[in-house]
Structure 1
Amino acid sequence: MNPEAQQDVSVSQRIRMMFYMMKPNETSFQILEEVPDYVKQATPFFISLMLLELVISWILKGKPPGRLDDALTSISAGVFSRLPSLFSRSIELTTYIYVWENYRLINLPWDSPWTWYLTFLGVDFGYYWFHRMAHECCLLIEFYSTDKVLSLNCPGREIKEVNIMWAGHQTHHSSEDYNLSTALRQSVLQIYTSWMFYSPLALFIPPSVYAVHLQFNLLYQFWIHTEVINNLGPLELIINTPSHHRVHHGRNRYCIDKNYAGVLIIWDRIFGTFEAENEKVVYGLTHPINTFEPFQVQFHHLVYIWTTFWATPGFFNKFSVIFKGPGWGPGKPRLGLSEEIPEVTGKEVPFSSSVSHLLKIYAVVQFALMLAFYEETFADKAALSQATLLLRVCFIILTLTSIGFLLDQRPKAAVLETFRCLVFLMLYRIGHLKPLIPSLSFAFEVTWVAQWLNVYLWLRL
């Protein structure tokens, strides 16, 4: 995909692509290099729609659609998940191209509307089965300690779920809020398993067509993460809507293993996984992770698998830890015991940061500056050296981690923030980072030091 192709995409197209309302003749490309980076171009609309949701929620409900700390964590996960693309093409495209170049059976015309619509169905069908495989019966993540594992079961159903795949998807379900920022809470690991479900399309569909629909399928799923849209009437029968997807994100018993669709809800209706929204949905994992630190949000289930793998005796049992359900244990059914599924009372209180308002303002300011560096890095990546790219990525990750530490009120938060500020000044001095307004560089540097001193005193006191 080519970021430089973005000048060929009109404002009207950028709006319509968020809702999969593009036409074949305006999104068909002969070669992969001509395909615009639609996801990158959608960034302003992510922000605009989140602000619009905030206003509408305040008008309708008298309150924001979620919590600031949770929204920052969700956007952090989205940033985290996109960083690897600075260095290489995604594995989803790399494996697809390999299959296409070596094993394709036929070559469907890239400019045919029939190829376009077939790809739309194929990508959406592949997403349904990937999504279902990733966490059927394991929306309820187990809480584990050194002596006990709480598990779950899906009674009376063939199991199509793999623990290692859930590790790459649970990040998206860890939010206890449900708003447009939740859509951005993506896993850095997920693409390393999802590619398998799209690869069969490479036997006959050109990579350029696939790359378009892979992006549109993802973009469509942004707007359905909201509570400000209720029922869409007859459309509820055909497409995935906010109401259907709220069920998918719920941890109520009636929500488990339901509504895996990406764009078309007909897949759930056909394969028996559809459930309409009725009682109030409680969001998140059954046992919340209670942290805003990005590495734990991304990798805590992988750590669980690793710990369980080494603690479980026997080769075949270790193999089962990876490829059976997350609730499995020696002597248990594939997904554990159904009686261990916690009940939802409706009185659950989402985990929130208890830091002061001033410290939250500081975190937001630093987060906004990080986003500016993030956007600038993606815009200039072709002109930046690999060393500069690597240093910038490390600084972005360090910033996200430090903000997570601040919100969690970790004991080492002050030390980490001090280190981060020193790293920034060092990178700024040697030219790997630059202020947004070069003429104000000295004032920028002084302000940065002053901000650090303030937050250091807040944390120490």
Structure 2
Amino acid sequence: MPHLPDVVLWSIPAFVLLTVIEMVGHRLHPDEEAAGYEAKDAATSIGMGLGSLGFDALWKIPVVAVYTAVHELTPLRVPVLWWTIPLMLLAQDFCYYWQHRGHHVNRILWACHVVHHSSRKFNLSTALRQPWTSLTSWPFYLPLIALGTHPAALAFCYSVNLVYQFWIHTERIDRLPRPFEYVLNTPSHHRVHHASQGGYLDRNFGGILIVWDRMFGSWVGETERPVYGLTKNIETYNPLRVATHEYAAIARDLKAAHDWRERTGRVFRGPGWQPAPTTDTRGPGTRGPGNAAPEAAA
């Protein structure tokens, strides 16, 4: 197959330049209502992004092994041609929608993705706040490999999707003309996705296209100004704690759980799941959950 470039690595200079331009713009023309920049927060986001490059390289080893084995076993082949690349991008974006949605509704997956939502700022540096445990994403793309997509072609499509989403992490762009807002994921749609208000939670999961959200009932338009972050924010700029805080919360909840049903729910149900109170047969009253609810998906 033809050589496909690493779009993320090639885009890093543009990421840096655009982030600096936006940062200077906020300093020269501040918006009192905008989240803006805060030095420690931006440094944490950049640190998380740099760390993710190293960890992603590590996680790719077993993932590439699995993808390669499946690709060798399937008799199907999708050639890498000028007209098949847009189709592969479309298929990858569809799978990304379900990957993203799954990482909001399953707590063990959310423990990975929560990193990206942990900033109370919303700017281009927030796009760089990436998880260090991205091993949870690969099963969502296995059907594409089984249908004949080459692992390198999938990696190219995934990187294009990731690079596209960089520019939508900004408050400096209001709304695009209606046809673009209807089809594409835009800053307005993504501001909703990063908001912590109840009506905005778990909405607008699209990567490049927003049409998936319109089709599957998860789209919400931007009305009230978003409040960014988590429903229960973390008070740390330590990259290691940012990367692992939800896993630690799951471990605490498992330790305090009363039975296997609750333990299973704490891991595989939604991030805000709580067991239903049960009557204590040893005396009057009910038994509530041991721990407070974890951060709900923002």
Are the structure 2 counterparts of residues 275 and 101 from structure 1 closer, same or farther at C-alpha, using a change threshold of 3 Å?
A: same
Q: Given that residues 162 and 325 in structure 1 are in contact (C-alpha distance below 8 angstroms), is that contact kept between their aligned partners in structure 2?
A: yes
Instruction: Name the counterpart of 2:80.
Output: 110
Q: Deviations over 1:235-273 (max 9, x none)?
A: 111100001000000011221121011000000111111
1:311 is aligned with what amino acid? A
Structure 2 gap ranges (5+): 279-288
Q: Given that residues 259 and 274 in structure 1 are in contact (C-alpha distance below 8 angstroms), is that contact kept between their aligned partners in structure 2?
A: yes
Q: Deviations over 1:52-102 (max 9, x none)?
A: 112333444368931111000111111121112455635544432222112
Instruction: Name the counterpart of 1:355.
Output: none
Count of aligned pairs between the two proteins: 278
Aligned ranges 1:10-25 → 2 under 5 Å: none
Identity among equivalent pairs (%): 39
Instruction: Name the counterpart of 1:215.
Output: 159
Instruction: Name the counterpart of 2:247.
Output: 302
RMSD of aligned residue pairs (Cα, Å): 2.3
2:166 paired with 1:196: no
**Residue 50 of structure 1, CA deviation:** 0.4
Structure 1 gap ranges (5+): 1-29, 136-160, 343-461
2:230 paired with 1:285: yes
2:32 paired with 1:45: no
Structure 1 distance, partners of 2:31, 2:249, is 40
Structure 1 distance, partners of 2:93, 2:66, is 18
Q: Given that residues 247 and 277 in structure 1 are in contact (C-alpha distance below 8 angstroms), is that contact kept between their aligned partners in structure 2?
A: yes
Structure 2 distance, partners of 1:62, 1:253, is 25
Aligned ranges 1:247-326 → 2 under 5 Å: 247-326=192-271
Structure 1 distance, partners of 2:209, 2:180, is 10
Q: SS of the counterpart of 2:276?
A: coil
Are the structure 2 counterparts of residues 257 and 217 from structure 1 closer, same or farther at C-alpha, using a change threshold of 3 Å?
A: same
Q: Given that residues 232 and 294 in structure 2 are in contact (C-alpha distance below 8 angstroms), is that contact kept between their aligned partners in structure 1?
A: no
2:120 paired with 1:176: yes
Structure 2 distance, partners of 1:45, 1:92, is 28
Are the structure 2 counterparts of residues 256 and 85 from structure 1 closer, same or farther at C-alpha, using a change threshold of 3 Å?
A: closer
Are the structure 2 counterparts of residues 124 and 67 from structure 1 closer, same or farther at C-alpha, using a change threshold of 3 Å?
A: same
TM-score by length of 1: 0.57
Structure 2 distance, partners of 1:341, 1:85, is 26
**Residue 327 of structure 1, CA deviation:** 2.5
Structure 2 distance, partners of 1:332, 1:127, is 36
1:193 is aligned with what amino acid? T
**Residue 317 of structure 1, CA deviation:** 2.7
Q: SS of the counterpart of 2:131?
A: coil
Are the structure 2 counterparts of residues 82 and 90 from structure 1 closer, same or farther at C-alpha, using a change threshold of 3 Å?
A: farther
Structure 2 distance, partners of 1:95, 1:272, is 33
Q: Given that residues 168 and 190 in structure 2 are in contact (C-alpha distance below 8 angstroms), is that contact kept between their aligned partners in structure 1?
A: yes
Are the structure 2 counterparts of residues 217 and 91 from structure 1 closer, same or farther at C-alpha, using a change threshold of 3 Å?
A: farther
1:261 is aligned with what amino acid? G
Q: SS of the counterpart of 2:161?
A: helix
Structure 1 distance, partners of 2:241, 2:182, is 38
Moved more, 193-202 or 84-93: 84-93
Aligned ranges 1:338-353 → 2 under 5 Å: none
Structure 1 distance, partners of 2:212, 2:159, is 20
2:85 is aligned with what amino acid? W
Aligned ranges 1:65-104 → 2 under 5 Å: 65-87=36-58, 89-102=60-73, 104=74
Q: Deviations over 1:35-65 (max 9, x none)?
A: 3222122111111000111233344436893
Q: Given that residues 174 and 288 in structure 1 are in contact (C-alpha distance below 8 angstroms), is that contact kept between their aligned partners in structure 2?
A: yes
**Residue 320 of structure 1, CA deviation:** 2.4
Are the structure 2 counterparts of residues 231 and 79 from structure 1 closer, same or farther at C-alpha, using a change threshold of 3 Å?
A: same
Q: Given that residues 91 and 195 in structure 1 are in contact (C-alpha distance below 8 angstroms), is that contact kept between their aligned partners in structure 2?
A: no
Aligned ranges 1:388-427 → 2 under 5 Å: none
2:158 is aligned with what amino acid? L
Q: SS of the counterpart of 1:70?
A: helix
**Residue 293 of structure 1, CA deviation:** 0.7
In the alignment, which of 95, 103, 108 is matched to residue 134 of structure 1?
A: 103
Q: Given that residues 95 and 195 in structure 1 are in contact (C-alpha distance below 8 angstroms), is that contact kept between their aligned partners in structure 2?
A: no
**Larger RCO (CA under 8 A, 6+ residues apart):** 2
Structure 2 distance, partners of 1:52, 1:327, is 38
Structure 2 distance, partners of 1:256, 1:85, is 27
Are the structure 2 counterparts of residues 308 and 162 from structure 1 closer, same or farther at C-alpha, using a change threshold of 3 Å?
A: same
**Residue 309 of structure 1, CA deviation:** 1.2
2:154 is aligned with what amino acid? Y
Are the structure 2 counterparts of residues 86 and 76 from structure 1 closer, same or farther at C-alpha, using a change threshold of 3 Å?
A: same
Q: Given that residues 251 and 281 in structure 1 are in contact (C-alpha distance below 8 angstroms), is that contact kept between their aligned partners in structure 2?
A: yes
**Residue 132 of structure 1, CA deviation:** 0.7
Q: Given that residues 35 and 211 in structure 1 are in contact (C-alpha distance below 8 angstroms), is that contact kept between their aligned partners in structure 2?
A: no
Q: Given that residues 75 and 185 in structure 1 are in contact (C-alpha distance below 8 angstroms), is that contact kept between their aligned partners in structure 2?
A: yes
Q: SS of the counterpart of 1:299?
A: helix
Q: Given that residues 53 and 65 in structure 1 are in contact (C-alpha distance below 8 angstroms), is that contact kept between their aligned partners in structure 2?
A: no
1:122 is aligned with what amino acid? A
Structure 1 distance, partners of 2:238, 2:52, is 14
